[in-house]
Amino acid sequence: MANLSSFKEQGRKIIGVGIPNYLSLIKVLKIDPPKTLDVFMKPSTSYITEGPIVIPKGFLVNQEIELGVVIGKKAKKVCEQEAMDYIGGYCAGLDMTAVNKITEARSKGGPWTIAKGFDTATPVSKFIPKTSVPDPYKLQLWCSVNGKLRQDACTSDLLFNLAHIISFISSYITLEPNDMILTGAPPNFGPVKDKDVITGGIRDLVDIKFEVIEDK
C-alpha cells in the first residue's frame, strides 16, 4: 500500500460528489432525494494543508466541510460489498466553491472546473488511518467561520454511503492509491471573505484552521 500520509503530494485526482448527499441538506432545499450520483473533479494542485485560502478576484466563495476518503489501493469496477476494503483512510476537507462561477457554468451547461478547482480550493487536514476510524458513519463534521459555528453534522446522515460512492466511481473511473473522494457537504455552508478564519474538522480526530485572503 502506498504512503497515504502524503496523499496531498502523491494523489493524482480529487473527485467530489456533485449532488446533495446529506438528508438534512435535502430537507433544507425541499427537493426529492437524488436517485443517482453525479460527480466532478478537482485538480490536485488545489490542495493546501497550511497557508491561506486565496480567493481569486471576482470570485464569491463558500466554505463546505466534507469527509474526505483516501483510496488505499487500485479500484476498478469494485462491487459495493468489497468497496470499503479499498479505503486507506480519511481526512477533513474543505470544498471551496465559487458560487457565482458555478451558477454561470450551470446557466451555460458548462463544467465546474474553475468554480471548484482554483488554486487553494481544497484545504485538507492530516491523514487519518482507516484503523483510527472504527465506524465512518459516526463521524461528526463541524465548521466555524470567525468562531461562529456553521456546519455540524454526522456522517450517519449521508444519502449515498461510502461503499456506493466508491463502487459507482470505480465503474467508470479507475481509482488509484492516494486519490481522494469528497463525499458531499452538510447544510449551512456559506460565504467567506478577506481576513475570515475558517476552523473545522472531525470531532475527536482532527482539526483544521485556514485564513482567507482575497487576491488583489
pLDDT value at residue 8 = 85
Report whether pLDDT(48) > 60: yes
Bridge partners for 14 per DSSP: 42, 180
Grid coordinates representing 107 are 446557466
* Per CATH, domain 4-214 is 3.40.1410.10: no
Contact 117, 196 (CB under 8 A): no
**Closest listed residue to residue 13, CA positions, set 55, 86, 54, 68:** 68
Q: How far apart are CA 104 and CA 140, in angstroms?
A: 33
Q: Per-residue pLDDT tens for 172-188?
A: 999 999 999 999 999 99
Q: Per-residue pLDDT tens for 4-39?
A: 778 888 889 999 999 999 999 999 999 999 999 999
Q: Per-residue pLDDT tens for 129-175?
A: 999 999 999 999 999 999 999 999 999 999 999 999 999 999 999 99
Report whether pLDDT(201) > 90: yes
Bridge partners for 40 per DSSP: 16
Dmax (CA) for the chain in angstroms is: 49
Report whether pLDDT(65) > 90: yes
Strand order in the sheet with 206-214: 53-55, 206-214, 197-202, 140-145, 148-154
194 — pLDDT class (breaks 50, 70, 90): very high
23, with CB counted inside 10 A (0-12, 13-18, 19+), is: middle
What proportion of the chain, given as a percentage, has pLDDT over 70? 99
pLDDT value at residue 11 = 87
The whole-model pTM stands at: 0.96
pLDDT value at residue 159 = 98
Q: Per-residue pLDDT tens for 126-137?
A: 999 999 999 999
Q: Per-residue pLDDT tens for 82-114?
A: 999 999 999 999 999 999 999 999 999 999 999
Residue 14 CA, chain-centre distance (Å), reads: 9
pLDDT value at residue 2 = 56
Contacts of 82 (CB under 8 A, 6+ apart): none
Q: What does the pLDDT average to over 34-51?
A: 95
What proportion of the chain, given as a percentage, has pLDDT over 90? 93
Q: What does the pLDDT average to over 46-64?
A: 96
Grid coordinates representing 20 are 446533495
Angle (CA) 88-93-94 rounded to 5° is 160
